[in-house]
Amino acid sequence: EVQLVESGGGLVQPGGSLRLSCAASGSTFSTYWMHWVRQAPGKGLVWVSRINPDGSRIDYADSVKGRFTISRDNAKNSLSLQMNSLRAEDTAEYYCASEGASCSGGSCFGHWGQGTLVTVSS
């Protein structure tokens, strides 16, 4: 079973940058679509971005397109999210998620990390 651990969250000023990381355990990382999903305090879940197993297909939500960049390193079992030009509305818990044995196809979140909090404030 895949275990996911996020890191890199913290307090950043509007307009600033932050890089989130997600470390994955297990041998299946390189075969899974990977995602970032966020949740503003007291609000619902919002999909942010996804990347296919070999990194050749990437999609973003309109709200982050042009500001965020997702990437992966299959040799290191790691996923990253580079966030630039951050805004107050980007404040949220950011979850790393992957496919799972139960679900595949790029649209399913079979495994989740515990989340890392990003706060954008002056």
Partner 1 sequence: QSVLAQPPSASGTPGQRVTISCSGSSSNIRVNYVYWYQQLPGTAPKLLIYSDNQRASGVPDRFSGSKSGTSASLAISGLRSEDEADYYCTAWDGSLSGIIFGGGTKLTVL
Which stretches of the chain bind partner 1, using CB under 8 A?
A: 35, 37, 44-47, 50, 59-62, 95, 100-103, 105-110, 112-115
Residue number with CB closer to partner 1 (66 or 122): 66
Beta carbon of residue 53, minimum distance to partner 1 (angstroms, whole number)? 17
Continuous segment of H or E residues that includes residue 12? strand 10-12
Beta carbon of residue 113, minimum distance to partner 1 (angstroms, whole number)? 7
Beta carbon of residue 114, minimum distance to partner 1 (angstroms, whole number)? 6
Residue of 41, 42, 47, 75 lying closest to 59 (CA atoms): 47
Query: What are all long-range contacts of 64-68, with beta carbons under 8 Å and residues at least 24 apart?
Result: 64/90, 68/36
Residue number with CB closer to partner 1 (55 or 110): 110
Residue number with CB closer to partner 1 (23 or 61): 61
CA-CA distances (angstroms) from residue 98 to 25, 70, 90? 12, 14, 21
At 65, the amino acid letter reads K
